[in-house]
Amino acid sequence: MADKYNELNPEQLRAVKTTDGPVLVLAGAGSGKTRTIIYRTAYLINEANVDPFNILIVTFTNKAASELRDRLFSYFSINPSHLWVGTFHSICLRLLRAEYTYTPFNSNFTIYDADDQKALLKKVYKKLDIDKDNFPLQAVRSLISKRKNEFLLPEDIQYLKDEGFYNRNFIKIYTEYQKQLVANNSVDFDDIMLYTLKLLKENKAILGKYQEIFKYVMIDEYQDTNIIQYKLTSLLSKPENNICVVGDDDQAIYSWRGAEIKNILDFDKLNKKTTTIRLEQNYRSSKEILGLANVLIRNNTTRHPKELRSDIESIHTPVLKTLDSETSEAQYVVERIQGIGSEYNLKLNDFAVLYRTNSQSRQIETALIAQNLPYTIVGGVNFYQRREIKDIIAYLKVIMNPDDNEGLHRIINTPVRGIGKTTINSITNFAINREISFDEAILRVSENDSLSKRAVKSVSKFSSMLKEWREKSKFINCFELVNKVITDINYLEKLEKSSDPKLNSQAENIKEFIASTSQFREEFLQDNDTEPYVEDFLNSVSLLTDLDRFDRDTDSVNLLTIHNAKGLEFKAVFVVGIEEGLLPHNRSLAEEKDIEEERRLLYVAITRAKDFLFLTHAKYRRLFAFTEASLPSRFLREIGVNTSYKSSQIETPPNPKRKRKVAFKVAKPVEKEYQPGEMIFHERYGKGMVISSNGAGDSKVLTISFTTGLLKKINVKYVEPV
């Protein structure tokens, strides 16, 4: 056992052996943090004699949790089923199901995804007579999510009722939405953590029970935690406070989904006698690549100081390439993929093209298609969000949770079985008049005198299947149940018989779903020594993302946003569109903290590369129907001004009329305060009028209406008075 710990560097070993009290491990990109967490867990169990059941390890992805379990077993023969290992949502879900008697729900509650939420909100809007133009569904759903991540239920924001039309109606929507969720015995994704925290804060006995269980707490990717996650871990780690948080504030890129960077920045201030350990030895990238990353991130002021180092030498210098347009940029990327792949014998899946926004993938895709090169958009449409897959999942949810009215309405006539809108309305009215659930109204269809004999027959057949599936689900595993449901409704057979290629493709997806169920059963059986039932499978599926299904064995070029690239690594990385307005994004120009997050985004992108790194920007880029001139990102200027690399090592296109100094023009200090109505001049867009301003000093952003008809938000440093 001692030999295994010799594989660690001194900083990793210190993190492994520092077990008591609060520990902050600042783990830089590629510094082996996963290995450190695994070895620390093994050390607690094998050397400190801690019961595995008393260890809680929280990861941010299901894939990371699975990898941790696998490596604990393969390296140290530790049975992962004895540990509490999983994402925040999976741990909280396990706790909620166990303690459901203290919640508004039954133990078989359903988890609603984004589509389920929107469908429920539409019904709420109809009931409350809400205008969708005034309250866009997506905006309201996002605001509900934000409030829940701030630990605020409808009753907690009633004081906002008197603060305008929008707040008053939002509270009505939020209140009714939450009421409907409870009526359907369902929760949305944010409820899982919210109700867990609510339970622990309001029930001292339950809190004490889990504090007694969790003697040692480890949190991975701590820089990505939000308010609720911070409060949860703070509560559960008491009173011993043996909490170890691992993360990197330089990779905090998720503020838009509620992550609070201050959780990691202030950890040592909030926890007295914190031991801080820095993992700065990088095992992924070459010295040349890390040189760029270090120079870039030093420009951020809100961070824990750290400097990544590497022993990996490389003959491949990072390349900065300026192209004429987004089309030539895409062609350049594809040409380099073909050239490098051939010269250095790299596979297509060794390459990744990273971009700030999803829309940037189109030109790259077009160029790859033109050369017949396969590609995968990582983190695109979630496999489990495909219509045919959601249909089968809806069947499973209804089997488990009879109160899931949304699910019942989805499956009652899918596939088509002669139960139309008139019949469904009649069943709904029967349920309302008898004050029973929609599910019970289906089961008691023979009592519904308003239905035709044909309709009663169709509904009776459906209800009989429901009864049988629910009975079978008590003693057959999830794989067997999925096969039975798909067979009983002839779903796969109908899709396969169609001559429509789209339906044939859906059939292939159904087969893949069956295969994924089989794989889940095998892995669950191995980890838990017991068969998984429908509840276990749905718990897993409800928390999956498409990134959890990312297959590195597929030989295709990887296209993905920088946000989706976090945690991944590739031999060759192209970061495209490094321009003002894209990276940093236009929406992030108002405040310095947002600029710093954009800088962290580029830092994350750079540190995904192992051997080859290409940074590109275009002189012109088409936006909507217009082609506009583009400015190189200020971040490129920061690298260019501060890096020790000679200009000959940065590849630029031959253009004697335009020297590199011009491309990295330094903005003038702000000397004038601009007021709405004043005319300004911008070197790219020309003359315009200031409409409004936001921020102060060098961070001020002006909203400008240009004479060309364009409306832009631009930092005050880049305009001049007329």
Instruction: Let me know if the fold of 2-98+195-281 is the same as that of 319-380+551-639.
Output: yes
- Give me the CATH topology for the region 384-543: PCRA; domain 4 (1.10.486)
pLDDT exceeds 50 at position 246: yes
The pTM assigned to this predicted structure is 0.77
DSSP 8-state symbol, 709: S
Residue 677: what residue type?
G
- Can you tell me the mean pLDDT for 210-227? 95
pLDDT digits (tens, 9 = 90+) for 392-415: 999 999 999 998 888 999 999 999
Is 566 known to be catalytic? no
CATH 3.90.79.10: does it fit domain 319-380+551-639?
no
* Active-site position among 11, 176, 221, 249: 221
So what's the pLDDT on residue 624? Answer: 54
* Model confidence band, residue 709 (pLDDT cutoffs 50, 70, 90): low
Neighbours of 41 (CB within 10 A): 25
pLDDT exceeds 70 at position 535: yes
Handedness of CA 319, 321, 326, 327 (dihedral sign): negative
Is 251 known to be catalytic? yes
Strands 557-561 and 609-618: unpaired
- Kindly list the domain boundaries of the chain, sorted by start residue: 2-98+195-281, 110-184, 319-380+551-639, 384-543, 678-721
Q: How far is CA 145 from CA 6, 176, 541, 606, 711, in A?
A: 46, 15, 20, 31, 30
- Alpha helices for 607-697 (secondary structure H): 634-642, 660-663
DSSP, collapsed to helix, strand or coil, labels residue 58 as strand
- Largest Cα span, the chain: 87
Residue 706: what residue type?
F
In angstroms, rounded to a whole number, what is the distance separating the alpha carbons of residues 241 and 21?
6
* Active-site position among 17, 18, 19, 34: 34
Is 275 known to be catalytic? no
The number of residues making up the chain comes to: 722
* Active-site position among 251, 331, 561, 607: 251
For 245, phi and psi rounded to 5 degrees? -110, 135
* Active-site position among 11, 12, 33, 40: 33
CA geometry: angle 31, 33, 35, nearest 5 deg: 110
Report which of 271, 253, 197, 248 is spatially closest to residue 23, judged by C-alpha positions. 271
For 558, phi and psi rounded to 5 degrees? -95, 125
With a CB cutoff of 8 Å and minimum separation 6, the contacts of 205 are none
* Model confidence band, residue 659 (pLDDT cutoffs 50, 70, 90): very low
* Model confidence band, residue 680 (pLDDT cutoffs 50, 70, 90): confident
Homologous superfamily assigned to 2-98+195-281: P-loop containing nucleotide triphosphate hydrolases (3.40.50.300)
* Active-site position among 608, 610, 619, 634: 608
- CB-based contact 705:711 (threshold 8 Å): yes
Pick the range with the lowest mean pLDDT from 93-102, 307-316, 669-678. 669-678
CATH number for 110-184: choose from 1.10.3720.10, 1.10.645.10, 3.30.470.20, 1.10.10.160: 1.10.10.160
Is 675 known to be catalytic? no
* Model confidence band, residue 549 (pLDDT cutoffs 50, 70, 90): low
Is 220 known to be catalytic? yes
pLDDT exceeds 70 at position 58: yes
Is 608 known to be catalytic? yes
